[in-house]
Structure formats: structure tokens, C-alpha cells
Amino acid sequence: MEPSIRDKFNESFSKEKYENLIAEIHKDFPNQLDFRVAETPVFVPKDLKIKLLQAANDIIEVILKPDFKEKTERAIPVNQYVPNENSHPHFLAIDFAVCKDEAGNLTPQLIELQGFPSLFGYQWYLGQKYRKFFYDPKNYTQYFNRLSMSSYVDEMKKVLLANENPENVILLEIYPEQQKTRLDFEITRQLWGIEPVCITKIKKVGRQLFYEKNGKTIEIKRIYNRLIFDDLLQNYPNLETNFKMTDDIEATWITHPNWFFRISKFTLPLLKSNYIPQSFYLSDLKAYPSDLENYVLKPLFSFAGSGVKLNISKEDLDKINDKENYLIQRKVQYEPVIKDVNGNLIKTEIRLLFVWEDNATRPKLVTNLARLSRGEMIGVNFNKNFDWVGGSCAFFED
């Protein structure tokens, strides 16, 4: 997006360097990489960075309002409500498409947001690999709030461990060794000593939870939750476990599962900003917008983009019986702004990643994730057999 930086990067790029980067990941973490790594990072100029920060701040101000919990109570399905919710999430992930405004300037537009963690370990690792193998411009960084590669690790440690012994903190998933994000789990284990543990391996005694490691029974005091209810219910409906996520337990959730629902697609209609496409709960509409071709339909309760319908008609909406479980959102026009070595232009989406300590008044922006796409949507299914697509990291002008 910064032409001079992009040109220098592309001049320094070679397929051999990229293959060496991928080979090193496989060497460092055999059989762990299960998603495509893009050939390039994203270089974000200062003016777009300022807009992204403002857009995120507009969202955070809504989350901080005293009535936010009341307005999002319906977001939590009754059978998935978890006791002992805290006052705010420990993590925020906010996704923005890079677009152009009417004046032709780059501008962010909100796509989705989550009160849920993302690839905090993997992004730390990937940023270093881009800097090692490719052109590394000065005054560009993947971190925020004056963090560095080492101080970022310390910042995450405070949030994840909160002075607990690492062995008393687990990363919760369902069959973590099978997940596409297992590389992030392994990096998390190496950086912060947090063991990935399957929900089937947890034992509950009263309100206390335990797991076994090297033949030793260890109490769980903090749960770094990476398990999504929908995944559990849809893909493992008959799974028998001693511990259920809805149990009343002593351990502290990081972050509490209720925030996955509160800060989600459900939140979109509550947000107002120049950087946020207009959204409406389908059940609130007395009449549909006259230009429905400019809207996309999204189910409130789904994950990984499932159920999204790009082209909708009045008839499509009329057929929906549970309108309270859907929203429509004004379409976002991604602007292809990243030039590959052949001069082709590629779309990008940037996810800002925040942490929120227990006693902090606001979340803190720490790093980011980027994704590149040639397809109609960002995502694996829309980018098969393409190069210069996949997961990446953005470097922001300092």
C-alpha cells in the first residue's frame, strides 16, 4: 500500500526465499503448519494506520458504555450461558477490510469483531520470519503502544498468566492436536508454558478442575479458552466429557465464553462510525432497504463465515422464520491495493488484536494479523490454487 516500500519488497522477493521461509517453519514445527502463508506482509502507511486506530476506538467506546451488557444479553444462547462472567473480555479481535473512500483515499471498513483470542503466538513468530527472509523497512513495526518483540511476550504473559504458575494455566480446545491453529498452540506453549488440553481430558471435582501432565495431577486455575461452542455442538454433538463449559467452576476464564457472543456479529447494529458499514437486525426492519443488492445477510450465531449470503432478495428474507437470529450489513467493497511481482493487485483484511488486563480501564492494542485474497471473499475456500494469498502480518509505519 506504500508504493516505494512495496516496490523495494517486490524487487527483493524470490520464490526461493519464500520456499526457504516455509521450509524453516516446517523445520521449527514439524507437521504443525496447516494453513497457507502469504508471500508478503502488508505495509500500512501512517494515514491508514490513524484511521484504523480511530475506527477501533469508535468500537471500544460502545463496548465501554454501561448499558452494553444489557443490550447484548440476548446474544448469549440460553443453553450456552456460562456462570461467573467478568466485567470485560481479555481479548478483542477487530477485522477491517482495506477500501477506498469517495475521494480515492485508503480507508478501513469493519467486517467483523470478536471478544475472543486469535493467533497471538503465531503472529509474533511469523513477523520475525518475514523480517529474516525479505526486505525489512525501517520505521515499520507489527506492534503497537511502543511494544517490541520481547516486551510483547511480557505483555501477553501478564494477561495469560496473571502471576499464576504456568502449569496451572491451560489452553482449552477440542482435540487441539487436530486443529488447523495447532501451530499457534505450540508457540503459545513454548513462549508462556501453557499446555494445550482437550476438554475430554479435564476432570472436575466439586468446582475445581484438573488435568494430568507427565503422570502428575495438576489443578487448573486459569483457562485460556480457544474452544468455540459451535464447533463443539456441530461437530461433536455426542461427545461425553466430565467437565462442561457451562459448569460453575473456580477457575478463571481468559476470556470468558460469554464474551464470544456479546462481541460478535450481534454487536454490529449497535455501532455507528464512518468506518462501520450500516447494519440492521432483520427482526427490527419494518421495511427492507430499497437497494438490497448492496447488503449481505449474516446469521448472528455462526462462526468461520458459515451461513453468509452475499446476494439477497426480498423473497430470501421473507422465507426466514427466525429473523431475530439474522442481520443485514451494507456490503463492503475491498480495494485491491497490494501489488504482487507480476503487477496483479490483491485485496487485504487487517485484524487488530487487543488484550485487556483484569484491572485495566480499556483494552490495549498489541499486534495484528492480516489476510490476503484474490477471491470474492477473504477465506480459504475462495482462494484455492492462488499464490500471494493467505495468512500474513501487517507492518505499520511508525
Q: Which residues touch 28 (CB under 8 Å, ≥6 apart)?
A: none
Q: Is the pLDDT of residue 384 over 70?
A: no
d(CA 349, CA 351): 7
pLDDT at 328 over 60: yes
Question: Mean per-residue pLDDT for 7-28?
Answer: 97
pLDDT at 383: 57
Residues 142 and 57 in one domain: yes
Mean pLDDT of the chain: 94
Domain boundary among 191, 219, 254: 254
Give the C-alpha separation, 124 to 134, whole Å: 16
260 assigned to some structural domain: no
Sign of the alpha-carbon torsion through 168, 174, 178, 182: negative
The answer to the question of residue 291 being in a domain is yes
Q: Nearest-CA neighbor of 366 among 157, 116, 152, 159?
A: 152
pLDDT beyond 90 at 375: no
The DSSP secondary-structure symbol of 284 reads G
Distance CA(352)–CA(212), nearest Å, equals: 35
Higher pLDDT, 244 or 306: 244
Boundary (domain end) residue, out of 193, 222, 254: 254
Average pLDDT, stretch 190-219?
Answer: 97
CA 183/CA 177 separation, integer angstroms: 9
In this structure, is residue 290 part of a structural domain?
yes
**213 lies in a domain?**
yes
Give the pTM: 0.94
Q: How confident is the model at residue 341 (pLDDT cuts 50, 70, 90)?
A: very high
Q: Are residues 248 and 385 in the same domain?
A: no
DSSP states of 78-107 = GGG--SS--SS-SEEEEEEEEEE-TTS-EE
Give the start-end residues of each E strand in the chain.
42-44, 91-100, 106-114, 140-141, 169-173, 195-198, 203-205, 208-213, 216-220, 222-225, 252-254, 279-281, 295-299, 326-330, 338-339, 345-355, 364-373, 390-392, 394-397
- Within this chain, do residues 365 and 327 fall inside the same structural domain, yes or no? no
Q: Is 306 helix (H, G, I), strand (E, B) or coil?
A: coil
Question: Do 383 and 343 have their domain in common?
Answer: yes
241 and 295 fall within a common domain: no
DSSP codes joined into one string, 130-156: HHHHS---TTEES--TT--HHHHHHHH
Question: At residue 377, does pLDDT exceed 70?
Answer: no
N-term to C-term CA, the chain: 15
pLDDT digits (tens, 9 = 90+) for 30-53: 999 999 999 999 999 999 999 999
376 inside domain: yes
CATH number for the domain including 186?
3.40.50.11290
Stretch 373-392: mean pLDDT = 76
Q: Are residues 187 and 250 in the same domain?
A: yes
Phi and psi at 295, nearest 5°, equal -120, 155
Which of the four pLDDT bands, split at 50, 70 and 90, describes residue 307? confident
Region 140-145: mean pLDDT is: 97
How many separate domains does the chain show? 3
pLDDT at 210 exceeding the cut of 80? yes
Q: Which element (helix H / strand E) includes 64?
A: none
Do the domain assignments include residue 150? yes
Verify that 23 and 99 share a domain, yes or no: yes
Give residue 386's pLDDT band: very low, low, confident or very high (50, 70, 90).
confident
- Tell whether 74 and 111 lie within a shared domain: yes
Is the pLDDT confidence value at 173 over 60? Answer: yes
108-122, 239-253, 303-317: range with lowest mean pLDDT: 303-317
Burial class (CB in 10 A: 0-12, 13-18, 19+), 201: middle
pLDDT band at 148 (very low <50, low <70, confident <90, very high): very high
| pLDDT confidence tier of residue 308, bands split at 50, 70 and 90 | confident
* Shared domain check, 180 and 112: no
- Domain boundary (287, 309, 331) is at 331
Helix (H, G, I), strand (E, B) or coil at 186: helix
Question: Is the per-residue pLDDT at 380 higher than 60?
Answer: no
What was the pLDDT predicted at 72? Answer: 96
Q: Say yes or no to pLDDT of 198 above 80.
A: yes
Q: What is residue 233's predicted lDDT score, i.e. its pLDDT?
A: 85
Q: Does 203 share its domain with 272?
A: no
In sequence order, what DSSP letters do the residues of 214-229 get, joined into one string? TTEEEEE-EEEE---H
DSSP assignment letter at 74: G
* Residue 267, helix vs strand vs coil: helix
Task: State the Cα–Cα distance between residues 162 and 64, nearest whole angstrom.
Answer: 23
Within-domain flag for 361 = yes
Give me the mean pLDDT over the 72-86 stretch.
Answer: 94
Total length of the chain: 398
Quick check: is 1 in a domain?
yes
Dihedral angle at the C-alpha atoms of 102, 108, 114, 119, nearest 10 degrees? Answer: 150
Nearest to 68 by CA among 289, 333, 270: 270
Residues 17 and 148 in one domain: yes
Instruction: Looking at the structure, tell me whether residues 86 and 180 fall in a common domain.
Output: no
Q: How far is CA 97 from the centre of its chain?
A: 13
Report d(CA 130, CA 63) in Å as an integer. Answer: 34
Return the pLDDT at 229.
Answer: 87
Amino acid symbol at 385:
N
Q: Look at residue 95 in the predicted model and tell me its pLDDT.
A: 97
Cα angle 75, 253, 61 (rounded to 5 degrees) comes to 50
Domain region containing 204: 164-254
